Amino acid sequence: MSSRPLELVRVFRTVAVAFSIVAAMALPAAAQAVGVRAGVSGDPDQFYFGGHGETAPLVDNLRFRPNLEIGVGDDVTLLAFNLEFAYHFATSRPWHPYAGGGPALNLIRAGGETNSEGGFNLVVGVQHSKGLFAEIKAGLVDSPTFKAGVGYAFNWR
């Protein structure tokens, strides 16, 4: 039996555990929304998808928005745990901008080897009051250099 199917099982198991960890972090009593996201990244050049949780405002309009993103492509699989904070700027319109950032733990699988590296993300975006959002991330240290994505936040406020 080749080792390729065993590697895929390990990757899927890691993804399942990672989603469970993010869900456990994001769903305590203070959680106000969960969402899905997808986009593209540069360095590595990948398609990514994932999910997030978002708390009620911690202070003013600052929210904790941990997310998990899985990147595939460029002969690399990247699992990013992003512990980001987002400040939502108040507007009277349905679209409002937000900005923030936070640390990241990146698990990188390439060439049959898995490494973990720390990183930091800066994020700016715009979100509609009904949940649709678009954002751009700049990665520092060992995070992907650039990400552009869209998503939807399911609110239960």
Backbone torsions φ then ψ of 130, nearest 5 degrees = -90, -5
Report the alpha-carbon distance of residue 43 to residue 144 in Å, rounded.
6
pTM for this model (two decimals)? 0.80
Can you list the domains of the chain with their CATH numbers?
3-155 (2.40.160.20)
pLDDT, residue 32, reads 83
Per-residue pLDDT of the chain (157 residues; tens, 9 = 90+): 455 555 655 665 666 566 555 555 544 555 589 999 999 999 999 999 999 999 999 999 999 999 999 999 999 999 999 999 999 999 889 999 999 999 999 999 999 899 999 999 999 999 998 999 999 999 999 899 999 999 999 975 5
Q: Which ranges of the chain does DSSP label H, i.e. alpha helix?
A: 3-26
How many CA atoms, within 13 angstroms, populate the side-chain half-sphere of residue 86? 24
Q: How far apart are CA 78 and CA 98, in angstroms?
A: 25
81-113 residue pLDDT tens: 999 999 999 988 999 999 999 999 999 999 989
